[in-house]
Amino acid sequence: MNQAYSPSVYRKPYGLSCHGDALPWPSLFLLPATMHCPFCGANDTKVIDSRLVAEGEQVRRRRECLACGERFTTFETAELVLPRLIKTDGSRQPFDEEKLRAGMQRALEKRPVSVERLESSLVHIKHKLRATGEREVKSLVVGELVMAELQKLDEVAYIRFASVYRRFQDLNEFREEIDRLAREPVKE
């Protein structure tokens, strides 16, 4: 009594069938996951290349849409809980990876740093935040982690970010930070 897979009928492990919405577990596990094409919206895509990036913390996949032929890249990461942020005014908010990415991209704008290196830095920052074991961390901790990663990626991006993050008021503050950067070796 071997039944073929069908979206409307799924064989439970112990041999009984479930129909429609009578499934005892989330249907997410039953239907094959499909990636929608960001260009045409079709869900017929195929993976043409897959590799580990960000020190093995992510999978980078090149995909091709079978409907329109466009190619695009996706990144797959394990989703783990990150600590909430305590802002300088004392308010608390959830960690926002997109906000972090946007801030780093702004600093790296028109700089010769690949998306893969940026993503690797983001993974490294999130890993360090999780490693604290804390449920909440001060936003200053995140700022310092970003500064350390940008210093490794690109010194110009580091200075750009530092000027906003540390609220430089004049050229002397820029000069002092550049001098400090020239004196101190980059910490790996």
Domain boundaries, the chain: 9-27+34-76, 79-183
pLDDT at 145: 96
Output the CA angle 7-13-15, nearest 5 degrees.
85
Terminal Cα distance for the chain, rounded: 59
Task: Give 10-28 pLDDT, tens digit per residue.
Answer: 333 443 344 444 444 444 4
What would the pLDDT profile of 81-125 be if each residue is shown by its tens digit?
889 999 999 999 999 999 999 999 999 999 999 999 999 999 999
| Predicted confidence (pLDDT) at residue 35 exceeds the cutoff of 90 | no
**pLDDT band for position 72 (50/70/90)?**
very high
The reported pLDDT for the residue numbered 186 is 66
User: What is the enclosing helix (H) or strand (E) of 102?
Assistant: helix 97-108
Whether residue 166 is predicted with pLDDT greater than 90 in this model: the reply is: no
What are the angstrom distances between the C-alpha of 16 and each of 3, 102, 147?
11, 49, 56
Residue 1: predicted pLDDT: 40
User: Which residues lie closer than 8 Å to 101 by C-beta, 6 or more apart?
Assistant: 118, 122
Q: What is the per-residue pLDDT for 69?
A: 95
Reference 180, options 157, 160, 155; nearest CA is 155
More confident residue, 166 or 13: 166
CA atoms within 13 A on the CB side of 36: 4
